[in-house]
Amino acid sequence: MKKTFLFATLFFVFAIAAFFSCEKSDKDISKQEFLQDAPNLAMQTGGFYSKVGQVDVASTKEGDQRELIIDLHDSNINPYQIKIYLGDDDKSANLKSGKYEVLFLRSALVLNDPATGKKTEFIVKNDAFHDMQSKLPANYISGSAREAVGIAVYGDHDNKRTDSDLVPVCATSGGPGSTSCANTCCSVTCLSGYYASCQSSCTCVKSSGN
């Protein structure tokens, strides 16, 4: 009898704990702030959208630029890495690894932490930037967005990832006069005053007249 009573008491306590845990979880989810109309905007601008997932961030220096390397782990999309090229003196990129929504809009990149509502935005100002803005709701990109030299994406935006996509044959494209280029390996959008170069990697090279 005592064992039955003890078992019933433990079961009751466990059930109450589970109830409040689920309630808290539901409240946490309801408080999360997601990007407005992100899948549709990605489609309109020729970019891509990744729902909340793990994002790993590292930084390095290459020549006169600082690189922010963002590794994606969303098996539902083909892009697996983003490189953001920043000026050598740009110390503002303090992005940390974590769980983010990722919205790539060709001339802009938005990483949103739904749990805090904090967004980190990068923009590339070139001729395509204003066309991109015209497709977005007013003030969708904030005035605090960081200006980047370029944004490169590795992986085909339009396909889901397969093993064969990760080791493609890369054609050469871009060159002086081009602010963007793409091949089967990667694509890049560059700031005016730089030209895009696409080979096995995609980079932004300062034009000789600047």
Encode pLDDT of 89-145 as tens digits.
665 567 899 999 999 999 999 999 999 999 999 999 999 999 999 999 999 999 999
Confidence (pLDDT) at 19 = 47
Confidence (pLDDT) at 63 = 81
Cα pseudo-dihedral 84, 88, 92, 94, rounded to 10: 60
CB 122 within 8 A of CB 173: no
Please report, for residues 73, 149, 184, 194, the alpha-carbon distance to residue 101 in angstroms, rounded to integers and kept in the order given: 12, 22, 25, 29
Which residues does 182 contact at the CB level (< 8 Å), separation at least 6? 173, 188, 198, 202
pLDDT score of 56 more than 90: yes
Alpha carbon distance 164, 166 (integer Å): 6
* Residue scoring higher pLDDT (97 or 11): 97
